[in-house]
Structure 1
Amino acid sequence: MVVVDKVEEVDGEAVLRRYMDLAKFAALLQSGSFFHCKMSNFDDGLEGGLTADDYITFTNDLAYLDLTMALWPVVQESQEERQVRLDKVERIRSFVDQETFETIFGPMLKSNAVEYFERARRWVYVSCWNKAQTECAGMWSLYGADNSICICTTVNQVSKYLQFDGLEVTKSVMAEVDYLDHGEGSFSDQELGAFVSKAEPFGFEKEIRVIAWNSSKNYGELAQDNPHAGVFSRSVDLNLIINKIVVSPKADGWFKSVVEKLCTAYGLNVEIEYSSLLSPRISHLVDTRLLRK
């Protein structure tokens, strides 16, 4: 079994939330498994791609440009001098051709950098969690539905109790997403950076993600089509991961009862509460007592 490693910078006690509709919650209860989507299926085309700065770092295009410039004729250069210069350029080119950079799949040639990041997106699997002490109205709208729920847990619980079977996945890491300008910013981590970075407009998501991959795949294998939409991680007991369930503020009156019955049927014994967005307006002295916790 493959467990989820937590990078040092992530606070283990941080509260994580995941918003889902009833169908996905029922599937979670039935299977005890969390889905990790392959990155190439994400709507954001920048995810898994390079920033401008990192393009310079990971590719050898600038080195090849310098070598091309070095091939230009030199005024009043003898035939012997020209041959010496060209031989030097060829020796440098041979070195540049072999330059590599480190990746989560092992060393890759810099000359294959652009293709590598495009290929890797097909074989890197991600599950997304909202790092927040409180609910987010925007997250309800984006990832929930009128009849939806939000499960609450912590970084330590996800890291400790989620496991992969080791067939499709040999490595898994939990990391906080870095929101950046792909034109001006750069990755904070050479190997993981492209897979834990998103464009700045998504910053409101405050995302921590679980990333999983098969580290044994080589450059050629990454070129193959991935027939799977994603992979699943499993928890022996969802009670070890889920601390609380919050019901959508737009849920129908009958919905909370259905969630309670589902939890009972599958042995999930956790607190189920209505969204704090349903708190009443304060119009009386008694209301001040009701809203205080």
Structure 2
Amino acid sequence: MTATTDHECFTQPNSENISLWKYMDFTKFMALITYQKLYACRSDLFDDPYEGTYPRKIVKFVQELKEDDTEDNAKVARAIYDFNKKLRKATYISCWHANDFESAAMWDLYSKNDASVAIETTYADLKNILPSEAMLGLVNYIDYDKEVFPMGNLFYAFTHKRKSFEHEREVRFLIQKLPIDKNNKVDFDSIVTPNVIPVDIEINKFVKKIHLSPRSPEWMLSLLQDVVKKYSINVEVRRSNLYISPIY
């Protein structure tokens, strides 16, 4: 199985050999290697309140539609907009940073303490370990005050972010888990969706390197190497030299 990458809403990179990074604290790293699972978070629980929402012009357009407007376009736009609000609670996302080099900003943003880890892979390898229900692609950054994207497909709201987040250079995979009741109907009102969902993976099939935080104490490198060895993970483990003293 591989992730779906041929959907119109998911922009693909020029090369699938680009490096992807995921920064995390040591606890999340231990969960990853212990359970061999990636966890995707529900989109409405992200720190960014705009996650999975529409730009200002679209919101204004829908809000100005009259309740008694019977035009097909108006009815469709209102239905899509209303459904999107609920869909955010059934859309799960895992975020990755695309970069040929490690990022000081990402260490600061996504590693909560000095005992943090970043795993490095490639776009192709991530794609190949994901199930086909996972949609994979680049995030597109736009000005939410001035620009728009099409309303014709609900995925567009989840493949765009504000330009304020452009530094993240994000690649994401997305899985939607609609709450289906016993009558095989979508029921957002009665069924509670989980905060995260697990995705089964095999570490050795996609992780290329494991990086320890540049601010971590020296002894942690030995600990990390021992842990990785214990779990039979056959990849290079290194401590970041991002803040190593320069030589003059």
Conserved? CA contact 1:123–1:226, under 8 Å: no
In the alignment, structure 1 residue 158 sits paired with structure 2 residue 126: yes
2:54 aligned with 1:50: yes
Contact 1:149 1:248 in 2 (8 A): yes
More helix per residue:
1
Gaps spanning 5+ residues in structure 2: where? Answer: none
Mapped contact 1:52–1:184 kept (Cα < 8 A): yes
**Structure 2 partner of 1:167:** none
2:94 corresponds to 1:127: yes
After superposition, the CA RMSD in angstroms is 2.6
Deviations 1:199-233 (A, max 9, x none): 21111111000100136859952344534111111
Amino acid at match of 2:223: V
Question: What TM-score results when the alignment is normalised by the length of structure 2?
Answer: 0.86
**Residue 80 of structure 2: aligned partner:** 113
Q: How far off its partner does 1:19 sit?
A: 0.5
Q: Give the number of equivalent residue pairs.
A: 238
* Inter-CA distance 95–175: structure 2 relative to 1 (3 Å threshold): same
Paired residues of 1:40 and 1:121 also in contact (CA < 8 A): yes
> Which protein shows a greater Rg?
1
Identity within the alignment, %: 24
Equivalent of residue 271 in structure 1, options 226, 236, 241: 236
Query: Residue type matched to 2:106 in 1?
Result: M
- TM-score (ref. length: structure 1): 0.73
Among 99, 110, 135, the alignment partner of 1:173 is 135
Change (3 A) 1:189 1:209: farther
Give 1:81's aligned residue.
none
Partner of 1:96: 72
- CA distance in 2 between partners of 1:231 and 1:282 (Å): 46
Match of 1:21 in 2: 25
Residue 122 to residue 13, structure 1, CA distance change in 2 (3 Å): same
Give the counterpart letter for 1:251 in structure 2. Answer: S
Residue equivalent to 1:141: 108
Instruction: Could you tell me which runs of 5 or more consecutive residues in structure 1 were left unpaired when the two chains were aligned.
Output: 69-92, 101-109, 165-170, 284-293
Deviations 1:148-179 (A, max 9, x none): 11100011111111238xxxxxx320111112
Q: Tell me, yes or no, if structure 1 residue 213 matches structure 2 residue 168.
A: no
Is 1:203 the counterpart of 2:207 in the alignment? no
Give the 3-state SS of the residue equivalent to 1:126 in structure 2. Answer: strand
Instruction: Confirm whether residue 39 of structure 1 aligns to residue 6 of structure 2.
Output: no
SS across alignment from 1:151: strand
- Whether contact under 8 Å (2:40, 2:198) holds in the other structure is yes
**Residues in 2 aligned to 1:183 and 1:142: alpha-carbon distance in whole angstroms:** 25
Partner of 1:5: 4
The whole-number CA distance in structure 1 between the counterparts of 2:125 and 2:73 is: 45
